Amino acid sequence: MTVVRGRPPVSRAASRDRRALWPVAACTACMPLAYLLGLGAVVWIAPAFALGVLALRRRDLRVPWSVLPIAALALWIPATSVSLSGAGSFTVFLYRWSLWIALIGAMVWLVNTPNRRVPTARVVDLLAALWIVFVAFGYLALLLPDVAVASPFGRLLPASIATNVFVSDLTIIRFAELQRFVGGVVPRPAAPMIATNGWGSTFAILTPFFVLSWLLVDDRRRRRIGWLLVVVAVPPFAVSTNRGAWLSLAVGLVYVAVRLALRGATRTLAATVACGVLAIVVVALTPLGSTVRTRLDGASASNDTRESLYVQAWDRALDSPFVGYGEPIPNPPDPPIGTHGLVWYAMVAHGFPGLGLVLGIFAALLASTFRYRTRTGLWCHAAIVICALQSPFYGLLPQIVIVGFAAGICWRDVHPEAASGG
């Protein structure tokens, strides 16, 4: 008898379990194709549909207490739509609102899906894969900085929607955001996000998942590849010149290292310091150094713009403190008032109640994920810490969805018995 050696047949159960990963796979593994089709912004709301499926299938839906302020904000946001400037703004308003539903969906989905069906390690691997995707897009930005073409999906949209500036930014294929400095034009990575700030912000938030998936594994070969990827990631991250991403990631890594050091794991603290020194040396001894120095030399103009936006956001919020304006306020030729920070966006778009709920969301998520049982829980908590640190200066929509996955993993980490049984 001839024996053919190859992959064992895939069981129906295994195939079904892989399909169960769709809420996270949609916005991770599918991101490159989705972006090139013009659907990169849409896939972030996939976890919202997971919440609907769970609600229909399960009567005993498990909902952690930290979801409550998120649900309160999701209920409050529709009330602020009365202040929208026109019907054309409603599509964008619905999209932003759906991202908060997706945050709830990502968290509740993981809490209610058995670990044996959707292993935490697989979710972490997919989020780490998205980190690698961002690095790849970073190099596309450096190689093809002038690409800016309409996507297939963008061409299908009605003119009334496609002409909206925000919708156009969501659907256009553009790898880099070109910014002019004293030393010339710098192609800063943007795709698969709208702009460079979103790229750098998401890169930093995803880094703890990459660390878990590639650097803290027993497989020595995988660790070596992981460290090589870290070195490869330095150039686009440096060229992005996202000071907020640099700072939040550095603080997040030191935070993890200190918490582990308090438990006796001093090697992690030393490794974190070594990584920081290595990154600084790589930047200082390569042409990247001149780009970074140019960006820092011109930082005063960026700081002035942000300060002006923040002052105007406060003043305009005082004019409509309860329901806000439903959206950022146009402010040509400067960026819209209520951008450049989630807390400012919440205050302008959804009033001071919206601001209070956003701050309550971060407080609840940080408090509920502070305890950890394994290093997986700690690193996923660190992703939430990094996101919270970014909230004053980055919009974090749609990055907030990643926080939902991180919070769900943290819940699983401290409730292993419930997570294993579903």
Which amino acid, one-letter code, is at 70? I
Count the helices and strands in the chain (H runs, E runs).
20, 4
Q: What is the pTM of this model?
A: 0.91
The string of DSSP letters for 210-272 reads: HIIIIISSS-HHHHHHHHHHHHHHHHHHHHTT-HHHHHHHHHHHHHHHHHHHHTT-HHHHHHH
Is residue 151 within 8 A of residue 179, CB to CB? The reply is: no
C-alpha–C-alpha distance, residues 411 and 370, integer Å:
10
Which amino acid, one-letter code, is at 172? I
C-alpha–C-alpha distance, residues 163 and 154, integer Å:
10
3-state secondary structure (DSSP) of residue 186: strand
Q: What is the pLDDT of residue 17?
A: 58
Split at pLDDT 50, 70, 90, the class of 301 is low
Q: What is the pLDDT of residue 285?
A: 61
State how far Cα 46 lies from the chain centre: 14
Give tens-digit pLDDT for 179-200. 776 556 778 999 999 999 999 9
Which amino acid, one-letter code, is at 261? A
Q: What is the pLDDT of residue 389?
A: 97
pLDDT at 378 over 80: yes
pLDDT at 358 over 50: yes
**Among candidates 135, 172, 124, which has minimal Cα distance to 25?**
124
Split at pLDDT 50, 70, 90, the class of 295 is low
pLDDT at 11 over 60: no
Handedness of CA 251, 257, 261, 267 (dihedral sign): negative
Sequence length of the chain is 422
Cα→Cα distances 328→81, 175, 331, Å: 12, 25, 9
